[in-house]
Structure 1
């Protein structure tokens, strides 16, 4: 979901940005008009997310999944790396990385059906690793890490579904990457934040478009960037700052998720199996005790104007994704529907 004020501004500027007579979609990505958008977008992200000066911000393509290959290409060199598996996406990242040599499994919660991510104390990695990789929030299973380990090995994190939902200490990370389509803007854009010293590690055979150092030296424009998605991201960054920054955004995200979890926990009709300490604020999976009612719930919810509540095909059930732009009124509407559905189907 995108903020309504962002969508409104984008629609107003769609045919004529800043009295140029051009849509952003029509601009040369190297022209002065677009470069002013690009520079401001980068500056606003650095400001709202408190990105230190010794980190580069890259605006890339290919989604977070492409980083499954770009991370080892740019960091592994001839060393080793360790991966933490806490759900479907981090397992896919680990499996993709196995195409490279010397990839180790630091920890996995798969045997526990991902109801909790592996504790930091259980991560088994080497101090000589090139990096340790983990996923901060698993969208399918609904588990989220709320703290960051302090380790000497460069920490690489997939923040695709939780970036900008709260402030993190970026200095604890070597690399942060995220697909934009959850909390930032339209699909097509991938944001990567990389500590400067790590830009020197890329393999010699890394293609130019996959090479972070080359991209950083070319303003993320070694090929044509996703210009409109970057523009939309910039509008979202402006909106986040107008909301009071990430501290205020986090307060609202806590309030929204608590409303939904409290309702589920107090129901004998719905349930959630995730460990309370790791319940995602972004993705709330839940089930109906009579599983045969699940599709009826989805169909009636859509009739009531509540969409995309069907759980992921791999795990079934139901799932409410409540990213930054979802207002608290949306949660209240969902709870009203859940309450009515329960009354009519007991």
Structure 2
């Protein structure tokens, strides 16, 4: 296990590869501000270095690649009124997501275990995403009064069959089978092969050949693959209320369980997430991240964010007091306003035009 004096994130040059290891296994490799800034700087250095031809990212410990941003850290900063520190956290994470998306060298995420929230942002936007047998992806933010961020406004509405809407509005976990079917993962390999893949990549092996040697087919059928027709029929509705009505009308065990799960989520967050899915198709990646920055800064003052984190991560009673308590009480004007420019200086462009973390 990681000692208290070990760094939160490790960097190594090995042959032609730049290796990044998220090193907070006790915290499921949750991403902190310092990890985001250090990773950005390493990527920038390696992008300029002709000796480095590819980057490999892993999480230590086996339980998680990265379970997300360190929401407890953000919650504590927000409660203390440290608005500038909160702003810097989101800027660092979102600039890192945008940089991974536009990175000019192969960026390979070897994903073992949980990959949620910020962990999806660190992996999905890269060129290669290798899922293992313990792969478990989710964007569970509506369960803590937040919203699917780290570029999901762009990525999720582009998934086939309204699968992204399902992931955004339920926070449900999916495994490697569904991830491969949707393109969220590009390859599959048993986790026991990750060291060998890393060695091959470091030796300069053609990336496709390294995967051919160690990756295999994966045939598991997940809930999205099994229930794709129901998901598309229900989640193509124009509002959260109508989605729930269609699920209720369907009446199958899957639809009933899905509706019940959604009804445990923050009504306000459900409406924000659905609006993201509607708007996201018209946005490029930089615009999507910019919209998420606006939402994140506003979310720090939402009752449901503080209450959701309290209920799930602090007191752990799992009994959040959502306000408003029902979808009928959510103000559509307030949802639309959340996507507008910030009053005290708007979000940066997230397109590489600004000099960030250099």
Q: Give the TM-score of the pair, scaled to structure 1.
A: 0.33
Which of the two has higher C-alpha Rg? 1
Q: Which has the higher strand share?
A: 1
Query: Could you say which structure has the greater relative contact order, defined with CA pairs below 8 angstroms and 6 or more residues apart?
Result: 1
What is the TM-score of this pair, normalised by structure 2? 0.32
